[in-house]
Amino acid sequence: MKEPKSMGRAYWPGVVSLVWIISICAVCYFSLMPRLEFPLDFWNADKLYHFAAYGWLAVLPMVGFRNRKAAMPASLSMMILGILLEIGQYYIPGRAFSYIDMSANGLGVLVGAALGNSARPRLKNLLLPPEGG
């Protein structure tokens, strides 16, 4: 029987992957809604929301995927998602295409990937099972 610490390590990648998929679906849903009201509204608040959402989407694979060679491309692929969703907003009533939003998305991905990459060695022994295992 596995000891509790190793059982948590075995489930961590699956849990993080599930949270990542749910988060991607939530970002897609909210990005393609015709009109979106923010809970906190101040000048350019949406840029902060873009940055935070894409930072979250980028950090999750970096801290949850077992293999770093898979984690980095998965994390950086969120830039493509941000670009595609921003283009899709052009066709949604009440939404608009914005290069500034796209930049906030990309910056969030870069910061999230960097934070996740720096946290990965600290979390590796604690949460991630050995690569290939």
DSSP line for 75-113: HHHHHHHHHHHHHHHTTSTT----HHHHHHHHHHHHHHH
In a domain, 22, yes or no: yes
In a domain, 39, yes or no: no
Total domains present in the chain: 1
In a domain, 130, yes or no: no
In a domain, 38, yes or no: no
Structural contact between residues 60 and 116, judged by C-beta atoms closer than 8 angstroms: yes
Tell me: the pLDDT tens digits for 50-106?
Answer: 999 999 999 999 998 888 889 999 999 999 999 999 999 999 988 889 999 999 999
Structural contact between residues 129 and 118, judged by C-beta atoms closer than 8 angstroms: no
Domain of residue 110: give its range: 4-32+44-124
- Percent of the chain clearing pLDDT 90 (strictly above): 58
In a domain, 37, yes or no: no
Per-residue confidence (pLDDT) for residue 1, from 0 to 100: 46
Report the predicted TM-score, pTM, of the whole model to 2 decimal places: 0.83
